[in-house]
Amino acid sequence: MHASACFEEDARVLGTLFADTSDPVFVLNCCRFCSVDALTEGFEVIVLFFVAILFSVCLPCACCSLWRKPALRAVSRYLKMCEMLLEAEGQDMCLKPQACPCDEGSNSGKDATQHLSILPVGCSLNGILNHGVRHLAVIMDGNRRFGELTSLSTVSVDAVTKLCDSILEEKNPPGSSVERCSALVSLLRHTTLDGHRCGGEKLIEFIDNCLEFNIQMLTVYAFSTENWERSALEVNVLMALFYFFFERVRSSAREKGIFIRFISPAFERIPISLRKLMLLVEEESRGHRPRRIVVNVCVSYSGREEVLEACNRLLRRVDKSIPISNAEFMSHMLRSITQEGHEAEDATVLADGGGAEPQVLLRTSGEQRLSNFMLYECAYTEFFFTKKTWPEIGREDFIRLLCDFSQRGRRHGR
């Protein structure tokens, strides 16, 4: 009876220890700043040798009631350490994520690193996740809701309208409205429309995350053709903010190696001054080298209009006897506003970025539909939905998205 009770007590202690997740996190945190690839075979042999000695010492101690619990705790920890080392070596795991500049005072980088250290996701030798995502699409939803939740004051309609009109004046050359854009941003702060500004700031941060984790192409849904039906004030604010953020991205695109493409089937509806800026930004960024990422910004976009435009272009082919293939039709998707003069180059750009079909589509703010976005391109795209609004998305959410995708099985119907 006494022996049975001892075994039951041992089993209870071991069960408690192995159920406790603090030990593996402790081991991973110790190894966070050095990859398993950096450990030489000689070092591993030494570690395992000392573990074996300690293990053999602890086993006799486990037979003594006085030392049983500490001995079992030590045995469990040594076993877990060995398991971690063997698992890491077998899966070629990397426990050192690339450093990322985070907002001062924010703990998002810390949370993301902790999440990355816990999930068993493979990494490449240089510390970047082997997530398998080359083309990522995002429906940036929830800016208005975020503004409504965080607003503290009302919008000065007359002042905002006047400022937006001055920013979007047709005679303004690109780059001449920087001061007025800054004044508009100040007017919008802490109002319901400030959510759109926060969404623009989040996009710039999100592009940096894509650069860090080696995403070759990012396609974002910035403004749909249905959005033209919103109030005149909100549409004017959005157009003025587009002007402000497109200028900001233009100033950093060369340094970061960003090629910005604008996808706009209803391009003629955009104010002339903004159209001029979009054409300039796309042509300028087309020449940036080295090219690290392609960012497709869908403005005045409709998935149905995109498909109709592709059909009309194919109808104008010289040889109409040749059947239209899926590859040919796909080549007419995500056409940029300057692509007509760069057909061969843009075909290569899309191919290098993983093709027009994204591997992953993220939609924020709890909605679970495409909303007329990339209707033809998303045949085998993996969908991820979150209840967070777009401005609330953090680096930890980005990493979690990549980790979740890396664990999905994609058979494409086979």
pLDDT of the residue at 77: 65
- Answer left, alpha or beta for residue 290, where phi above 0 means left and psi between -120 and 50 means alpha: beta
**Which amino acid does the sequence have at 156?**
S
Pick the closest to residue 80 from 20, 120, 33, 6 (CA basis).
Answer: 20
Question: What interhelical angle do 194-212 and 178-188 show, nearest 10?
Answer: 110
- For β-strands 217-224 and 135-139, DSSP reports them as parallel
DSSP state of 323: P
Phi/psi at 88 (5° precision): -60, -40
Task: Quote the pTM value.
Answer: 0.71
pLDDT of the residue at 203: 98
- For β-strands 135-139 and 360-363, DSSP reports them as parallel
Using DSSP's 3-state secondary structure scheme, residue 259 falls into: strand
Question: What interhelical angle do 272-286 and 232-256 show, nearest 10?
Answer: 20
Contact residues for 309 (Cβ-Cβ < 8 A; gap 6+): 265, 332, 335
pLDDT of the residue at 107: 43
Partners of 218 in the beta sheet?
136, 295
pLDDT of the residue at 23: 41
Distance CA 337, CA 293 (A): 18
pLDDT of the residue at 269: 98
Cβ-contact 380, 410 below 8 angstroms: yes
Using DSSP's 3-state secondary structure scheme, residue 226 falls into: helix
DSSP state of 357: S
Pick the closest to residue 395 from 102, 136, 105 (CA basis).
Answer: 102
Sheet of strand 217-224: strand arrangement: 258-263, 293-301, 217-224, 135-139, 360-363, 382-385
Cβ-contact 291, 255 below 8 angstroms: no
Phi/psi at 241 (5° precision): -70, -35
pLDDT string in tens for the chain (414-residue length): 444 445 455 445 444 444 444 443 333 333 433 443 444 456 666 766 776 777 676 667 666 666 666 766 666 666 666 655 554 444 333 333 333 333 333 344 444 445 444 444 444 434 556 789 999 999 999 999 999 999 998 989 999 999 999 999 977 777 677 789 889 999 999 999 999 999 999 999 999 999 999 999 999 999 999 999 999 999 999 999 999 999 999 999 999 999 999 999 999 999 999 999 999 999 999 999 999 999 999 999 999 999 999 999 999 887 888 899 999 999 999 999 999 999 999 999 999 888 899 999 999 999 999 999 999 999 999 999 999 999 999 999 999 999 999 888 777 666
Cβ-contact 359, 405 below 8 angstroms: yes
pLDDT of the residue at 36: 39
What are the residue boundaries of the structural domains of the chain, listed by start?
2-91, 131-406
CATH code linked to domain 131-406: 3.40.1180.10
